[in-house]
Amino acid sequence: MISQTERKASTLKRLRRISHVLDNAIAIPGTRFRFGIDPILGLIPGGGDTVSAFFAAYIIWESAMLGLPKEILMRMFSNILFDTFAGSVPVVGDLFDVAWKANVKNVALLEEHLQLPETSQKADKWFLFFLLIGLILFVTVVGAISVLIVSFFLSLITGNR
């Protein structure tokens, strides 16, 4: 049987890997700068930021299962909202995604909390449910707006209205 400590360590290792792939997997040769697939996915109007947000939601979900309190989950949530909103701006948003690294920030928040003795109250399931539903709705709306904007500009360029 797996102990609580081993389960936490395994989950943390998995979340580090996911955040690394999303935010730091690709090194820019000759520099110290790295980026992940998050800004690359962001190049896909609407859909890319949605896929990235689902991975981010998974990190938040697992963090809540490890016992993070509401306050930290809200900070993680706001990191993702900011990342999704800013990332939805074509080109500039993708450059922002290279620098912001919301998933790395969220895993760092998780690691910081796991090093503290348990003193704060854990988030309840309903809070987490509504938090993730809110994230999904926000990402869907931002994605839909992005697709509408791109469609509008394409129709202007091609003359099809």
* Model pTM score: 0.81
Amino acid letter at 45?
P
**pLDDT 10s per residue in the chain (161 long)?**
778 788 888 999 999 999 999 999 999 899 998 999 988 887 876 677 778 888 999 999 999 988 888 899 999 999 998 888 887 777 787 788 888 899 999 999 999 998 877 655 666 788 888 888 888 888 888 878 877 887 888 888 887 76
Name the residue ranges covered by the structural domains of the chain: 4-158
Show contacts of 58-61: CB within 8 Å, 24+ apart: 58/18, 59/15, 59/18, 59/19, 59/103, 59/106, 59/107, 59/110, 60/106, 60/128, 60/131, 60/132, 60/135, 61/128, 61/132
